Structure 1
Amino acid sequence: MLRASCRQEPRFGRIIGVGGYRPQRVVDNSEICRSIDSTEEWIETRSGILRRHFATPEETHAVMGAAAAEKAIAASGIDPLEIGCVIVATTTNLVSLPAVSVEIAGRVGAVNAGTFDLNAACAGFCYGVGSASAMIRSGEADHVLVVGAERLTDLVDPTDRQIAFLLADGAGAAVLGPSEEPGIGPVVWGADADQLEAVVMTRSWGDYRHSPQGPAPVMKMDGRRVFRWAVEAMVSTAHEAMSAAGVTVDDLDAFIPHQANMRITEVLVHELGLPARVAVADDIITAGNTSSASIPLAMEHMLTSGQAGSGDIALLMGFGAGLTYAAQVVRLP
């Protein structure tokens, strides 16, 4: 017969440290325009992006993810040995085993942790935070490391005018720990299978580009379809997440959506009716779209730049291929 947990007092999860890694190579719009029929002004108007980071072959998922994780662990003040689980959200790891999470755990010294990778596309970080929070609340882990690590440029045809200017590389991480007060609201998540064809990875191998893992398939996206879906579907998801957390837009201090496109963010801000005082993540301007890494990267930027502060209440929102989606309200570390 299973023994009941001896833990009597309720406990909650909270983000206690964040970190990010941005690849060394910076690519501006003028360089992108060498490969696509476009202009710098068109790219900026269409997406808000001025520049982004491309990873070198040496900047693998594990290298970038571990660098971001080390910063998050340092910010949290815990020993890596205290980490009970490492969750890595990634869409672009082309080798299914061993999992990236295993190498990252080893690199940061989290030798006591269980590990697994998850792929929920650009909603992956929110999925990871939701899963980590549940682990902490149940007592299965005291501290969980959640990492988003992406090399989207391995999958992009640099001549594809639809997405070549959007996608980039990077990693972000967060350490979650126990809290006496709620620090992470319930995750509201789901997937819309009617939108399977909106963002896809081709089954044929591209011969124009080689990642550190070998020849890579090509990613394709119907940008207009994703835009329409996001601005229609994510508003209700955001309201569900706020309701589940017991807050309203008037309680928010920050809005940190997946950095997909600045135009999408601006429409969501308007449709949600966010007060002007709410800080809105705009990391896409200098980082591009980094899929599951974009929310933790934006969170770190907001905290280090002073756009947001420790203890602020933030609405997180992710959406991507599938189309998968997730949102939750958190208290910033």
Structure 2
Amino acid sequence: MTAKIGTAPGAPGSRIVGLGHYRPDKVVTNDDLAKIMETDDEWIRARVGIAERRFAAADESVASMGAQAGAKALAEAGLQPEEIDTVITATCSLDSPAPHASTQIASLLGIHAPGSFDINAACAGFCYAVAAADQAVRTGASRNVLVVGSEKLTDWTKSDDRATAIIFADGAGAVVVSPSDEPGIGPVQWGSDEDHTRTIRIEGRNGHFIQEGQTVFRWATSAIAPVAIRATRAAGLELSDIDVLVTHQANLRIIDAIAKKIVKEGGRDDLKVGRDIVTTGNTSSASIPIALDRMRAAGEVSSGEVVLSVAFGAGLTYASQVFVCP
């Protein structure tokens, strides 16, 4: 072969330049759930740390919520829809597999003819999607990428199942990833555990979420902190360089266990930890951007701080990377 394939000029690095989120208006408390199943506020708080969660309205969808979050991320980035050339959506809760969410979100936002695709890595999806956006920008395949994590998990949850209905919720978060002379997103560390593929699952196309909670808890509290540590080192940083830890908001006890291990291995005592699970619930691939944006809104996190993100979910899949907060 004598012909040589050329490549597009990329950027030295990429950076998150905009962030936004959307939570539905309907608040569902633990007392509300106690009316339809055998549970109570104390039982739920003790096991998962959730006080309330948000449920989407019947006319809200993965795409509509994703567009709401995406519009906020675009506004913060100072970009117009025509400046976005790629849309990537992380979701595991579309009501139909076709058309995919990214093309619907692009249409709602007036983004013309972007490259668009969805990623289903369950609750790890946002980290996977950010990694894909970072790589697309650095290789020259894309310039400005809208990354969305959006879930309507209540469509796939049995409303009186105490193992899942107390946990899952709805919402969306989004970021814009753009070129940067100095890298603002570290290398992703990702993988999966083939021994636990069915611990979180939906049986058949008309089924509901089934979760083996104790198995997931033991796995997450032992396997995930090392992934986050590897991501920190892959970025050329020490754990003491990390300002903010935002994990997938699965369970407050899991979040606290991961944070404790990070601090024990060299993280700072003043490490800021996202605990949005308490008032938002588990929104799967949307949970990290929602949690981070709400921390910013509360004044807990500032632009320029170093964020360590790590997510895990059905598969069991996991992913982690460091990035600079916009």
Checking the alignment, whether the CA contact within 8 Å between 2:11 and 2:139 is kept in structure 1 is no
| Aligned counterparts, 1:1-333, within 5 A | 1-5=3-7, 7=9, 11-203=12-204, 205=206, 217-273=207-263, 274-333=267-326
Q: What do the CA deviations read for 1:260-314 (whole angstroms, capped 9, x no partner)?
A: 0010000111112232211100111110000000011011111111111101001
The offset of 1:3, in angstroms, is 5.0
SS class of match (1:160): coil
The offset of 1:202, in angstroms, is 1.2
Residue 211 of structure 1 corresponds to none
Cα distance in 2, alignment partners of residues 71 and 177 from structure 1: 16
The offset of 1:197, in angstroms, is 1.8
Cα distance in 1, alignment partners of residues 275 and 53 from structure 2: 13
Gapped runs of 5+ residues in structure 2?
none
Checking the alignment, whether the CA contact within 8 Å between 2:246 and 2:292 is kept in structure 1 is yes
SS class of match (2:60): coil
Greater Cα shift, 35-44 or 255-264:
35-44
SS class of match (1:269): helix
Change (3 A) 1:148 1:204: closer
Checking the alignment, whether the CA contact within 8 Å between 1:230 and 1:264 is kept in structure 2 is yes
When normalised by structure 2's length, the TM-score is 0.96
Cα distance in 1, alignment partners of residues 66 and 249 from structure 2: 18
Q: What do the CA deviations read for 1:148-192 (whole angstroms, capped 9, x no partner)?
A: 110111111122111111100001101000101110000000111
Q: What do the CA deviations read for 1:43-96 (whole angstroms, capped 9, x no partner)?
A: 112111111100111111111000000000000001111111100111011311
When normalised by structure 1's length, the TM-score is 0.94
* Number of equivalenced pairs: 321
Aligned Cα root-mean-square deviation (Å)? 1.3
> What's the % identity of the aligned pairs?
43
Aligned partner letter, 1:125: F
Cα distance in 2, alignment partners of residues 317 and 241 from structure 1: 9
**4+ long deviations beyond 6 Å:** none
SS class of match (1:322): coil
Gapped runs of 5+ residues in structure 1?
206-216
Checking the alignment, whether the CA contact within 8 Å between 1:120 and 1:320 is kept in structure 2 is yes
